[in-house]
Each structure stands twice: as structure tokens, then as C-alpha cells.
Structure 1
Amino acid sequence: MEDVFKDPTTLSKGVELKDLMSGSEFEIDMDFKKKPRGILVNGDDDLFPGLEDDDDSDTEDFLKIIEESTEKKLLSSPEYLSFEELTTKMVDVIPSGEVKMSIVEEGDGPLVPVDAQVTLHYAAYWEKAKIPFDSTLTMNCGEPFCLRLGSGRFLPGLEIGLTAIRGPTARFHLLLQPAMAWGKLGVPPRIKPEPVLFVIVLYGVTDQYAVSRFNDLPSQEQSKFEVTIRTVNSLRTNAKDLFQRHKYMKCIKDYQQSINILNVSRPETEFEISEIKRLKISSLLNLAVCYSKLNKAKHVIQMLENLDYLIDVDSHCKALFYYGKANEILGKTELAVQYYQKALKLEPKNKDIGKALEKLDLYIKKSSKKEKEMWLNVFKSESKENFNVDDDFQNGVRELFKDLAGNKEYAKFDLPPGLKSDEVEFVKHLAKDFEGLIVHEEGEGRKRKVTIVKQL
């Protein structure tokens, strides 16, 4: 029992001072130590927690679920007769041959750094086994594990294998000898001192320390092409992951750092010069895209203006498209349409440009319609506000004026007495639209007499 108290223990909940002062009793659960979760290092994780040895039906169901899960996540054990046969299709990662690898799908980035944060799923198999004895599928609620290399959470052989693969995405197999896994003696009773096959799917790699490593280098080393490419590729890989997770401000920071590093690089060959230029163009365009996502139109335009020093923007479809986006954000619709149309000429089948133009065209039509309706309403309201006259009176006066205006002889018509001021004002206002009609007024108030005269 003394062994239980050798290591520091965290209480399940806090203790208040009044409890200590009042002589309260505390009960210790002798089974308080939680089993470690995550990658097996000591071999004391249980792949099937809660299943007793005599619960055969539940165990079989669980094993079936595990087998189906490994197939779904592409973590199934590969087809082979023995580990010896499997090694013929693998390469040595280290000279001793204790870590062997076969790549199923190559990743699309640089080699995984030794201190990178990786996101992965794995399944570990004994020879000829179809069900893994250990897998991340049973941990972390089934989500991929995210851990940093060099933190002590990985087996030695896993660390070595991961740093020999290109990320952020890859699928590969690692065959580890006991010395590169849990040790030559294993961890009885669960972990046997035998070779183990890891089937691994790598989802993401975050090189959090790329800039720190670069900053620690002397300036002469920083300007070397290979150092530039390695650091910038790490930043771009991280930025791509951030962009996919909609973390645009952090993404912008990585692309800005990439440009700073590219600016201090000293390429020597034509190839190196063109590669540095290509990365600068790509970084500026990606910055424009990120600022566009944040609706920072002026920053988009600034990035594209910087780009204009490297390429002819008028011949670059993506640059023209984001000039259009920026002007659309600023409300400069006509200018946005011009840029979109220029971009469409370069890539007539580009669906994104077509959609942007269609959206703007619809917006312009709606705006034009709304503007027309607005002015019609203004005129209507103006007529009703300036002349508080009902529609019957207005229509009657209009008909009268049409008859008088069409009369070829002198005519005179007296309007009925007692007209309201608004009615008289409406008559005088309407008469201006008919040539030859004059409105005469005599008297005031109820005695006011209004006459319409048609002059020859």
C-alpha cells in the first residue's frame, strides 16, 4: 500500500480551509490512479476497458467494431503471410534494421521536423493479427491524436519513423523491433517482447518552431537557399492548415513571415532565383485571399500592388479576380465588374469568376429596380404631401383640362365654390402642364372664385 503514496496525487476536488479547521474526515479511494491515455509508452493502457474476461459476447461485439473502424479509417492490417515476408516490401529507416517502413501514400510537404506537432491515427498489430491490440480509435473519443514529437509520449521507433515521412498527409506502415517499441522484455502481461506493426495515417503536421530555429541561425546561414525553402515550406504548410480552420489572422502572420524570410534569402542559380520569386508571388496572393476573407479590401489591394512589382497583374487571372473582390467589398461595383471581366477573358471557363459576375449582375439589376421604385414613391409621396387631394378630384380636373386644352375656341370654366387650399394649389400646378390654360382667382376664403380660361 505504501507504493500508492510515493508519487504526488491531485485531489479530485479542492479542500476549503474551514474543512481542515473543523476536523473533517477525508476518504481516499485506493483505486484513484487513472490509467494514462494516448500513445502506449509503458504498455499499461487497456484497449478494451470495462470488458471482463468472461464477457465473451460483449468482447466479440467490441472486436467487430474495432475491425470495422480500422477498415473505415484505412488502418487495417495489410495482407501478408509473415513479418519476414512483409519486410521484403519495406526499407530500413535506421541502419540497424530495427525500424522498417513502407509508404502507402506519400505526404505532400517537407519531412516532419523532430519537434513538430502531429495529428494522427494508428493501429498496432502483432504478427498475422487482424485485430489491433492497441489503437487511437479507442482513445480520445475516436478523434485523431494530436501530440508533439520529443515530448516523451511516442515510442522511439514511432518518433524515428514519423520524422522520416513527408507531411502533413501520409499513410505508411512501421515495423518495430522490441528495442524500438516497449523494450526487449516488453511490458508483461499485455505487451509481448515481439515485433509490432504500426499502420499509421498522418492527418496534420504543425512546425511550431520553424521560425525560432531560423532566428537562432547566424545571418549567413539564414540567407542560404536550402534554409529559406525549408523554413518557408514549414510556414506555408502551417498556414494552409490554419486557413482550412478559418484562422485567417494567424494564417496572415505565417505568410508575412514567409515573405520576410524570402527577402533575406540570397539565391545563386537561375533555378533558385525563380523559386524564390514563385514563393513570393504565391505568398502575396495568399495574403490577398486571407484579407479578402476578412473583408479588408484596402489590404487586399496593397498585397496586389506589391505583386505588381513581380508580375504583370493584368495577365494574372487570380490577381485580377481579387482586385474585383476588393472593389466589390468597397462598393465600387462597376470597377469590380471590369476586373472580373478581365479575369474571365484569361480563363473563360472559370466558374468562380462566372459566379461573381452573375452575383454582381443580379445585384445591379435589383439596385436599379429599387432605385426606380424609390423615385416613383418619392414622386407619389410628393404629390400627396404637397397636395392633399383625393384621386377622384385629381382625375376630374385632369379630364376637364384635357377637354379645355382640346377646344379650338375661347373657353371659360368656373370651378365650384368652397374649394380647399390644397385643391386650388393642385389646379394651379396642373394647369402648367397644359398649353393655353390659365387659372384666375378672385376673392378669399369661401367667397374665393376659381376660373379656368382657355386662351386662343
Structure 2
Amino acid sequence: MNGNGLISSIRRRLNTEEQLRINNPSPFEYLHRHMDDVLGDGGILKEVVQPGQGPPVPQNASVLMHYSGFLEYSDRPFETTTNLKHPRMMKLGRDVTLAGLEMGLLTMQKGEFSRFLLQPQYAYGELGCPPFIPAAAVVLYEVQILDFLDSGQVDDFMALSLEEQNTVPLSTLLEVVHTLRSFGNRCFKQSRYDNAKDRYKQALMLLGNREAQSSAEKERIKTALLPVYLNLSLTELRLDSPHKALKYGNKALEIDSANTKALFRCGQVRQGFCLFAFSDKNSQRALRA
């Protein structure tokens, strides 16, 4: 067989193998056909399985999600959160460090379930992550966004000095406080009471540091303080700190002496822990409530 005949034979064999590959694609090749190119370079491919609603995940957000990572031909994930009843909030750029996954998350909405096929340069690189991720591995992530909070504003505000914080509009401070409370509430629902307490205490500190410029501002600050005191009171109760729970309940009553939640909370503390040594006016009212 002359040289040209050998080359023709090799070409025919390659064409046959290519046709077989097209007709019998690997799992990732099959997925590839049904996915959208996020960046335009083929490095991050996305398939929306279940659409979400609302705006996409913002930069620097903290995301509550379930996710699982797979290698090709593997039925079991090399990492997953689906076995957790309460996955933790993950901060983009800090807790989520895989470039492709982070970029993919920025395309998602609340409630969305999507798949992402990541090339090595957007995943674990040419070296992989032995012993679980081989070198130059393409990986698949399945992600469901449960919720997210825009924590970038909180980070920026907390980086300011006390003097700078007092020059920021009160409306911005109240937005930051609302986000911190939302973080705390999420932790509370997951029974992570220490984490919830930290968030509420941050909100309390920011409100306490604010220098009110008018009586109207002072009232808005008091209004914002009330739910924080109530949150702290219930959290301290869950942490078996009845004295602190009563303290924050009384703080709430100083703002609104008829507040039903505060009266009930103080009553819970006194009746549940038998703290009858307290004799202040608000505690007496709470006991009778």
C-alpha cells in the first residue's frame, strides 16, 4: 500500500470513529448539545432545568443553595449539600471560590435549578484536586438557588469608619440593618442561634452608633431598634440565657410599652425560668400578660 493509500485508510477510520462518537456521545457530550454558552468561549455551559423568578444573584451576594458536583461517568457526586437539611449561606468570592460556579451563580434567579458544565480552566485547572478530581477534569454542577441576600452593601458599610457611617443617609443604614436582620432570621430558622445573635448584635451596634440629626431620625432609629430587640430576646431564650432574653424584651418595651411580642416574650422568660427576683415595672406587666 502506497503512502496515499495509508493516509486515506487512516482518514476513513477517523471518520468512522467520529461518526460513532456523534451517534453515541458520552454523558457530558450529550449534555453539551443542550446547553447554552455563558461566556461565549465554551468554558461554562448552562442548562436551565427549572426557571426561577426575580432579579439575578448580584455580585458579592450571600447565597443559600443546594449543589452537587459530578465527574463524567460517576453516579455519585464528589461533593454535595443535598444531604443537609439547612445548607449554610455561602458568600461569593469567599465561600464560593470555583470561578465557573461563581460566574454561573450570577446568571441564576431565586428558585432556579440549573446544570453547569465547567471546563478545567473554570473548575479545578490542569492539576485537578487529588484524590477526588483528576487532572484537567471537566465537571458538572447541579445547583438550586433557595435564596440569596445582597451582602455587598453590608460589607461596604462595615468597612467605613464610625465618622463615615454617620455621614451616610439614614435610609442606607436602615437597608443595611434590614439585610443583617434577614441574615439573622435565616440563621435562626436553621437553629444556628449563635450566628443569628451575631447578626442581630451587628444591627444593634450600627443603630446604636448612629447620631440622629433630628427628632424624626431618632424616631426612625427607635422603630428600627424594636424588631432587633425582639429578635435578640427570642434568640437568647433559645440559647438558654433568660436574663439576657428579659433584658432585650424590656428594651423593646421601653420603645413600645404595649408591644404584644415583647410582653409575651418577657412573660415566657419569667414563667419558664421562674425569674421572679425581678421587680421592675415592665417585668411585672409581663408576668400578668
Output the CA distance in 1 between the equivalents of 2:147 and 2:61. 14
The alpha carbon displacement at 1:238 in A equals 4.0
Alignment partner of 2:160: what SS? coil
1:121 aligns with 2:67: yes
- Which stretches in structure 1 are left out of the alignment for 5+ residues? 1-76, 126-131, 340-456
The alpha carbon displacement at 1:122 in A equals 2.0
Output the CA distance in 2 between the equivalents of 1:162 and 1:326. 43
Q: Is the 8 A contact 2:207 2:221 kept in 1?
A: yes
- Residue in 1 that maps onto 2:122: 181
- Residue in 1 that maps onto 2:14: none
1:290 aligns with 2:240: no
The alpha carbon displacement at 1:318 in A equals 1.9
CA distance 1:221–1:163, change in 2 (3 Å):
farther
- Residue in 1 that maps onto 2:77: 137
Output the CA distance in 2 between the equivalents of 1:305 and 1:293. 17
Q: Is the 8 A contact 2:104 2:116 kept in 1?
A: no
The alpha carbon displacement at 1:153 in A equals 7.1
Range that drifts further, 133-142 or 299-308: 133-142
- Residue in 1 that maps onto 2:266: 323
The alpha carbon displacement at 1:287 in A equals 0.7
Residue type of the alignment partner of 1:256: K
Output the CA distance in 1 between the equivalents of 2:152 and 2:66. 19
Q: Deviations over 1:153-199 (max 9, x none)?
A: 744221123355578xx5431545748735999x999846xxx7642
Residue type of the alignment partner of 1:325: Q
* Equivalent in 150, 160, 163 of residue 93 of structure 2: 150
Range that drifts further, 199-208 or 212-221: 199-208
- Residue in 2 that maps onto 1:389: none
Matches within 5 A, 1:52-451: 87=36, 102=48, 104=50, 111=57, 114=60, 120-123=66-69, 133=73, 137-139=77-79, 143=83, 149-150=92-93, 154-163=97-106, 170-175=111-116, 178=119, 181-182=122-123, 191=137, 198-202=141-145, 213-218=156-161, 219-220=163-164, 223-224=168-169, 227-228=172-173, 231-244=176-189, 246-263=191-208, 264=210, 279-311=224-256, 313-314=257-258, 316-328=259-271, 329-332=273-276, 338-339=288-289
Alignment partner of 1:308: what SS? helix
Residue type of the alignment partner of 1:330: C
- Which stretches in structure 2 are left out of the alignment for 5+ residues? 1-27, 129-133, 277-282
The alpha carbon displacement at 1:285 in A equals 0.7
TM-score when scaled to structure 2? 0.54
CA distance 1:228–1:139, change in 2 (3 Å):
same
Output the CA distance in 2 between the equivalents of 1:283 and 1:93. 41
CA distance 1:109–1:230, change in 2 (3 Å):
farther
- Residue in 1 that maps onto 2:280: none
Output the CA distance in 2 between the equivalents of 1:279 and 1:95. 46
Q: Is the 8 A contact 1:228 1:265 kept in 2?
A: no
Residue type of the alignment partner of 1:159: E
The alpha carbon displacement at 1:299 in A equals 2.8
The structure with higher relative contact order (CA 8 Å, sep 6+) is 2
Output the CA distance in 1 between the equivalents of 2:164 and 2:221. 17
Q: Is the 8 A contact 1:122 1:136 kept in 2?
A: no
**Structure whose alpha-carbon radius of gyration is higher:** 1
Q: Is the 8 A contact 1:102 1:173 kept in 2?
A: yes
Output the CA distance in 2 between the equivalents of 1:254 and 1:336. 27
